[in-house]
Amino acid sequence: MRAIFSLMTLVLIALPPVAVVLSGNALATTDMPAQAATCLACHSAATSAASGAPQLAGQQATYLQKQLQQFKNGQRGAAVSDVKGQQMAAMAATLSADDINSLARYFSKQQAEVITSSADAALLDQGRRQYIGSCGACHGAKAEGNMAFNAPALSMLSADYITLQLQHFKTGLRGKDKADKPGRQMALFSRNLSEQDMQAVAAYIGAGMP
Amino acid sequence: MKKTTIALALLLPVAFIAGQYFSGTAQQAPSLAADVSFSGGAAASNNAKKSVIDHGEVGQVHQVKPGQLIMDAVKAAQPGDVIQVFPGDYVETVYIDKDNIRLSGVIIDGKRPRLYGENRLNDAILYSGNNILIENFLITKYKGNGIMGQAGNNFEIRHNIIEDTGVYGIFPQLGINGLVEHNVISGIEDAAIYVGMSDHIHVANNEVFDSVAGIEIENSRHAVVENNFVHNNTGGILAFVTPGLPIKDTVDVIIRNNWISNNNTANFGAPGSMVAGIPAGTGILIMAADEVIIEDNIIIGNKTAGIIITDHQNAPNTTLDPESDPTPDKVMILNNLMYNNGYDTIAEAKVLMATELKQGQPDIIRVGNSNNSCINNPQQYITVGVSKWPACSFTNTDSVLNYLLDEPAAPRTVAAEEKGKYVYLGVCTGCHAYTGRLIGPPVQVIQSLYMDEPQALADYILNPLKKRDDYPAMPKQDYLDAETRLAVAEYMLNVGN
């Protein structure tokens, strides 16, 4: 972490004009939808660990849009066992279709902050093999996502969030709706994963794919 | 000496003129007469030309000349026929889906027929028939395979030169009883010679170089790899169990009398693919294969190590397959000449050596488990991980001439309802393991993506679209008919590990 900070300092010193543009972008104000601040209360890099909410910055707009719609119409976050999902569904209920579009577009243009967690080396090694062997085929070599498969970026997500979502896919909380093809695809794949596999691959992505 | 030179100089113009004169006549193809042996020797030789095909009566001879298509001759041919291809360029993919065909290049004045892929075509020669012979071609600039066998038994692939042809140079997949001899192969992104899921195979007298893997015996049984010149690859000779393939083991491989030198080429395999994990500078790599004998090879100048023996857990870029034993058992290292290996080895090897309080340049590295392995005269090598191996109970493999069958294997006949299965085994699994990344994405991922839409998958393999930046493009499988494409798609979406 310290290394990242000192790097940032260096960048600021070396390239002040660019740095200004970058920071302006990160805090982007002019085109920021009104509700975005509410979202960021949980979904910002600083709060996501505590809230368990995923970072949204840098995620594909189509993916965000679809998830918000699903939260709103009850396809996601309706189950009693899905506590976090229920919280999100309540928030999504307040959004109009226009809100959803502009929020999705806005967050997709922001840059995620990389937050890495540490994990046991053996677990990371298992996760790396798992990721390269399977996940990367759709989610990309750097977990940057691949629109050709409607596969979202994973690189900005925490290990806990990824584990939980994999469990949701496997147990049928996500990816059940007939019309939700990408969700069904992921649900089908998640059934190949053991609990240990999920922990490993989540740890690997959460650790910044070392 | 001087007189001879002058005499030759005098003869040359005559020969030239004569050549001019005779070249006006039709180019002659070689006769198809039987081989005759030199009668002066006293004892029978080990060098007897091996053959695994009973060609029987020679059928019709089809001649193909530049401007014509080899494929037209294949279509016209009946089992037993010979197709002679004359020197010149042929820009096409040849697909042989009938039995007993001899596809024979005709070499005239050193010129052989060239199959030229223009960096555009995927495969030069594919065969799914039994008893196929392919010889005397020059194959270059294809993107996928030079010569690929798809579940054909009894094959002979010899005297071909293959340069810069994509993923696999010569790739018999799921074949029983085959010979790969006297080929020169270079510039291949994966294996120059890749024996996949096959039995009773003989790979001899080939030169393989400038490729990621020289010769790879993968999920195959009863193979002899001998007298090959294997140099300047990333890894020289590999005996592998690749996890996630339908055949789960590699057993009974003899690697002998090969010249394995300077396999230090930087790895240029597709990142993330299994071969991309091979450290540059590996002479022989045994991964999870059982009963591998390494004898009388000259192994020199491989910078990481002369021989690496590893289980799946310690091999990079592999995932475990619960159906495969990940441990290389009964590895038998007899006498070999090993010199100047391991001079720029990897950090992992140094760490292993440190645990044995050793220093220097490792000839042999064993990581992970290995049961019932043995080594003769280990004192002559610098080793790590084999100091507890006992001496082997024998010193040579002279009793094994080869592992080819005495009689040709029964031709594989595929019932209509099994067509999907055999195309899956013979074609798809060449690049797609069930789990893990071989060349393309794993079958598990494909099953998730296509779910209950086999037609969409069948359409995709006819005309694939590149969707992944970090994977090579999938070659068109347009030589398969629509019915077969659907059959294999249905099979693939339902198959297990």
Q: How does pLDDT run across A7-62, given as a tens digit for each residue?
A: 433 333 333 333 333 333 444 455 789 889 999 999 998 898 889 999 999 999 99
Q: How confident is residue A114, by pLDDT bands cut at 50, 70 and 90? A: confident
Average pLDDT (B404-423) is 90
Same domain (yes/no): B363, B466: no
In the structure encoding, which two tokens stand for residue A151, read together? Answer: 């596969």
Whether residue B317 and residue A132 make contact (CB cut-off 8 A), yes or no, is yes
Average pLDDT (B99-107) is 97
Same domain (yes/no): B301, B429: no
Question: Considering only CB atoms, which chain B residues are within 8 Å of A138?
Answer: 441, 445, 449
Q: How confident is residue B45, by pLDDT bands cut at 50, 70 and 90? A: low
In the structure encoding, which two tokens stand for residue B492, read together? Answer: 């693939």
DSSP states along B113-181 = EEEE-TTT-SEEEEE-SSSEEEES-EEES-SSEEEEEES--SEEEES-EEES-SSEEEEEES-EEEEEE
What CA–CA distance (Å, rounded) separates A56 from B270?
Answer: 31
CA dihedral B6, B8, B9, B13 (to 10 degrees): 150
Question: Considering only CB atoms, which chain B residues are within 8 Å of A148?
Answer: 467-468
Whether residue B444 and residue A134 make contact (CB cut-off 8 A), yes or no, is yes
Same domain (yes/no): B372, B292: yes
Q: Is 60 exceeded by the pLDDT of residue A84?
A: yes
Same domain (yes/no): B357, B275: yes
**Which residues constitute the domain of residue B433?**
416-494
Same domain (yes/no): B339, B473: no
List the CATH number of the domain containing B436.
1.10.760.10
Residue holding tokens 């080429």? B265
Q: What is the layout of strands, in order, in the sheet containing B364-367?
A: B94-96, B123-127, B145-150, B168-173, B191-196, B213-218, B235-240, B282-287, B305-310, B364-367, B383-384
Chain A interface, mutation test: which of B318, B448, B460, B495, most A Cβ atoms within 10 Å? B448
Residues of A with CB under 8 A from a CB of B: 129-130, 132-134, 136-138, 140-141, 146, 148-149, 184-186, 188-189, 192
Residue among B383, B336, B339 at smallest CA distance from B359: B383
Q: Which residue of B has its CA nearest to A187?
A: B448
What CA–CA distance (Å, rounded) separates B34 from B22?
Answer: 27
Same domain (yes/no): B345, B446: no
List of residues 6+ apart from A145 with CB closer than 8 A: A59, A60, A63, A139, A151, A152, A153, A154
Tell which of B384, B405, B425 closes a domain.
B384
Question: Considering only CB atoms, which chain B residues are within 8 Å of A134?
Answer: 319, 435-437, 441-442, 444-445
Average pLDDT (A85-111) is 95
- Model confidence pLDDT, tens digit, residues A135-187: 999 999 999 999 999 999 999 999 999 999 999 999 999 999 898 999 999 99
What CA–CA distance (Å, rounded) separates A140 from A133?
Answer: 11
Average pLDDT score over chain B: 91
Please provide residue A168's backbone torsions phi and psi, each rounded to the nearest 5 degrees: -65, -40
- A12 sits in which H/E element: helix A2-14
Q: State the pLDDT at residue B42.
A: 60
Same domain (yes/no): B354, B485: no
CB-based contact B401:B461 (threshold 8 Å): no
In the structure encoding, which two tokens stand for residue A191, read together? Answer: 């059934």
Residue holding tokens 């996940």? A135
ipTM over 0.90: no
Question: Considering only CB atoms, which chain B residues are within 8 Å of A186?
Answer: 448
Which B-chain residues 120-149 have CB contacts (< 8 A) with chain A? none
Strand B364-367 and strand B383-384: the pairing is: parallel
Q: Please state, for a pLDDT cut of 90, what percent of chain B lies above it.
A: 78
Instruction: Assess if residue B334 is contained within a domain.
Output: yes
Which B-chain residues 219-278 have CB contacts (< 8 A) with chain A? 271-272
What CA–CA distance (Å, rounded) separates A55 from A165?
Answer: 14
Domains and CATH numbers, chain A: 55-113 (1.10.760.10), 121-206 (1.10.760.10)
The structural domain count of chain B equals 2
List the CATH number of the domain containing B375.
2.160.20.10
- A17 sits in which H/E element: helix A16-26
Residue among B184, B171, B196, B205 at smallest CA distance from B402: B205
Same domain (yes/no): B328, B421: no
